[in-house]
């Protein structure tokens, strides 16, 4: 039986690092619905986020509309949200993908990078971005920093 608790409440067996770098245990999570925050398993993919919007490696905390709660969703791959950058830095993606922020309220997403006409991989700047062999990064008007034939 889980007991109601305020957000940030320390639950018995609170999340502890495991040998794979993920989380295990209980935390006060914000599940879907109008009920109270409860002590429950958290941090794994497709489960509630742990307090502080924390998910295991390879997951990002996504807040649903209304009171849909917060869920850890896969990140970093093609068409997925960007993973949270360490220390609050820029979002990250798996190798071969670049984190592209469309601006506004839309989430930054991982898109293929490095090929001709695609965003530059890495930092996304002309100076430090990378492309496939024979291509280079350039800032092309209305297209952003993309890979082109030199």
DSSP states of 16-40: EE-TTS-EESEEEE--SSSS--EEE
- Residues whose CB is less than 8 angstroms from the CB of residue 45 and which lie 6 or more positions away in sequence, other chains included: 55, 56, 58, 59, 72, 73, 74
pTM for the whole structure: 0.64
Identify the band that residue 148 occupies on the pLDDT scale cut at 50, 70 and 90. Answer: very high
Residue 23 has pLDDT above 80, yes or no: no
pLDDT, tens digit, for every residue of 59-89?
Answer: 998 886 655 678 889 999 988 999 886 554 5
The confidence score (pLDDT) of residue 22 equals 44
pLDDT, tens digit, for every residue of 101-134?
Answer: 777 888 888 989 999 999 888 776 788 888 999 9
Contact of 98 with 111, CB cutoff 8 Å: yes
The confidence score (pLDDT) of residue 149 equals 93
Q: What percent of the chain has pLDDT over 70?
A: 66
Identify the band that residue 26 occupies on the pLDDT scale cut at 50, 70 and 90. Answer: low
């Amino acid at each position: 039986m889980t007991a109601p608790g305020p957000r940030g409440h320390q639950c018995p067996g609170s999340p502890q690092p495991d040998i794979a770098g993920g989380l295990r245990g209980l935390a006060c999570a914000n599940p879907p619905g109008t009920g109270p925050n409860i002590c429950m398993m958290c941090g794994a993919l497709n489960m509630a986020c742990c307090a502080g919007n924390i998910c295991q490696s390879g997951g990002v905390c996504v807040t649903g509309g209304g009171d849909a709660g917060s869920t850890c969703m896969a990140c970093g791959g093609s068409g997925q949200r960007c993973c949270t950058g360490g220390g609050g830095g820029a979002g990250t993606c798996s190798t071969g993908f670049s984190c592209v922020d469309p601006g506004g309220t839309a989430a930054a997403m991982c898109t293929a990078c490095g090929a001709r006409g695609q965003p530059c991989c890495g930092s996304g700047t002309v100076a430090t971005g990378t492309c496939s062999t024979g291509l280079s990064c350039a800032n092309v008007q209305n297209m952003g920093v993309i890979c082109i034939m030199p």
